């Protein structure tokens, strides 16, 4: 009799486990593989998504701008990357894509991007100040990207205009090689591609993004409208799990933004597993931009970027930033989690 009961309990446990797996909802997430995908990776590795009944599938893109059409058709549920002119054009045409939470902000002392210049231009005197960017080929991630407004601000500080340079577009990891082989003269990659490029040699970091844009909302969590409307409970739970991941990352950082202690070791191991660089030293070699543990967006810089793109003629429809911003999912998660307190 005892054996029968044990067998029955084992069967119930097995059926229960199977049911739990069946109840998992798959969420397709677009990422760029940048350092600030850390919150998503941590939430996945530490089981925060799984605890919410969510299985995440990561899809890597060389620019968030290339996620827009897939978010518009709901082939992606979630995007992790920067707002762009393409995003606002889509929203202005009635395509439901929402900026729902902070992913990273470049703030003074905590930036993800550096302006890199070939060392030979510095040694020869070709480059001394930002005014010397005139006539150079400069690599950016995509036209109308959030990073493109940083390049424009570098030009403005040097007294230059957008048409004073030759824009070249490529993925962040390709920029170091392009600088080294002379295909471009300067570039604005994001970490960890900055550190990777500098290790190649023959490349110099001449300025930080925050030197010209002191507070810049550089990337966000984006929701496809269909995901937000048809699976609101999943979308809310996704946000709660994501913020838990971001908070675990923030808990691992010391006052100077460097990884410290056992918590730091754990986050670095996750970055090494999920990221493109498999040497833990890479992830410790730079200071991460600010990944907000409460998911709060810096809306003024989003609006400033949009105004710049309008001035450049990149916005083809009538649209305002507020039409694309939906903070309801963050607000729901914060009611449960409360404001962040460092552990």
> Does the predicted TM-score (pTM) go above 0.85?
yes
- Give the end of a domain, one of 213, 241, 274: 213
What number of residues does the chain have? Answer: 343
**Domain's final residue, options 198, 213, 228:** 213
Give me 20's structure tokens.
């739990």
Q: Is residue 342 part of a domain?
A: no
**One domain for residues 189 and 294:** no
Query: Distance between terminal CA atoms of the chain?
Result: 50
Q: Using pLDDT thresholds of 50, 70 and 90, give the confidence band for residue 4.
A: very low
What mean pLDDT, rounded, does the chain reach? Answer: 91
**Domain-embedded: residue 25:** yes
Give the C-alpha separation, 81 to 31, whole Å.
Answer: 7
Name which residue leads in pLDDT, 158 or 6: 158
Last residue of a domain, one of 190, 213, 236: 213
What is the band of 17 on the pLDDT scale with cuts at 50, 70, 90? Answer: very low
Question: Is 220 a member of any domain?
Answer: yes
Give pLDDT, residue 61.
87
> Scanning the structure block, which residue is given the tokens 């150079």?
136
Q: Do residue 76 and residue 123 come from a single domain?
A: no
Task: Tell me: do 269 and 135 sit in the same domain.
Answer: no
Indicate whether 270 belongs to any domain. yes
Q: d(Cα 26, Cα 6) in Å, to the nearest integer?
A: 33
**C-beta of residue 268 within 8 angstroms of C-beta of residue 259:** yes
Q: Does residue 185 lie in a domain region? A: yes
The residue segments making up the domain with residue 330 are 2-107+216-337
Per DSSP, what are the bridge partners of residue 56? 27
Query: Both 309 and 220 in a single domain?
Result: yes
Q: What percent of the chain has pLDDT over 70?
A: 94
Decide if 278 is inside a domain: yes
Structure confidence at residue 65 as a pLDDT band (50, 70, 90): confident
What confidence tens digit (pLDDT) does each residue in 156-173 have? 999 999 999 999 999 888
pLDDT of residue 151: 96
Are 97 and 118 found together in one domain? Answer: no
Largest CA distance in the chain: 89
Asked if 148 and 230 sit in the same domain, the reply is: no
Residues 228 and 298 in one domain: yes
Does 94 lie in the same domain as 238? yes
- Confidence (pLDDT) at 118: 98
- Are 248 and 179 contained in the same domain? no
| pLDDT for res 15 | 42
- Do 118 and 254 lie in one domain? The reply is no
Residue 198 shares a structural domain with residue 87: no
- Mean pLDDT lowest among 74-78, 149-153, 162-166, 276-280: 276-280
Q: The domain that contains 189 carries what CATH number?
A: 3.40.190.10
Q: Indicate the range of 17-26, 100-109, 262-271, 312-321 predicted with least confidence.
A: 17-26
The answer to whether residue 132 is domain-embedded is yes
Domain annotation covers residue 343: no
The count of domains in the chain is 2
CA distance 199 to 237: 40
pLDDT band for position 57 (cuts 50, 70, 90) = very high
pLDDT at residue 2 in the model: 40
Q: Does 205 share its domain with 146?
A: yes
């Amino acid at each position: 009799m005892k054996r029968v009961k044990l067998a029955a309990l084992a069967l119930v446990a097995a059926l229960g486990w199977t049911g739990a797996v069946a109840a998992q909802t798959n969420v397709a997430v677009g990422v760029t593989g940048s350092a600030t995908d850390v919150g998503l990776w941590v939430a996945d590795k530490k089981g925060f998504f799984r605890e919410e009944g969510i299985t995440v599938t990561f899809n890597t893109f060389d620019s968030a701008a290339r996620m827009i059409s897939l978010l518009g058709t709901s082939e992606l549920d979630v995007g992790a990357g920067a707002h762009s002119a393409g995003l606002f054009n889509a929203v202005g045409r009635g395509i439901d894509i929402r900026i729902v939470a902070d992913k990273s902000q470049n703030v003074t002392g905590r930036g993800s991007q550096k302006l890199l210049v070939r060392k030979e231009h510095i040694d020869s005197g070709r480059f001394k100040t930002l005014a010397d960017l005139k006539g150079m080929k400069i690599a950016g991630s995509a036209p109308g990207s959030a990073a493109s407004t940083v390049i424009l601000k570098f030009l403005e500080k040097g007294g230059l205009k957008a048409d004073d340079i030759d824009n070249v577009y490529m993925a962040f990891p390709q920029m170091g090689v392009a600088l080294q082989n002379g295909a471009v003269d300067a570039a604005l990659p994001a970490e960890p591609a900055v550190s990777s490029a500098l290790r190649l040699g023959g490349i110099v970091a001449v300025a930080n993004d925050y030197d010209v844009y002191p507070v810049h909302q550089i990337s966000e969590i984006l929701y496809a409208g269909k995901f937000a409307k048809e699976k609101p409970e999943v979308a809310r739970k996704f946000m709660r799990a994501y913020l838990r991941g971001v908070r675990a990352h923030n808990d691992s950082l010391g006052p100077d933004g460097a990884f410290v202690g056992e918590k730091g070791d754990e986050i670095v191991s996750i970055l090494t597993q999920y990221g493109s660089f498999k040497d833990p030293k890479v992830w410790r070699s730079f200071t991460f931009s600010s990944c907000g543990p409460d998911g709060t967006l810096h809306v003024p810089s989003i609006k400033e970027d949009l105004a710049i793109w309008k001035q450049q003629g990149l916005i083809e429809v009538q649209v305002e930033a507020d039409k694309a911003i939906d903070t309801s999912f963050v607000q729901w998660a914060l009611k449960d989690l409360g404001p962040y307190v460092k552990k």
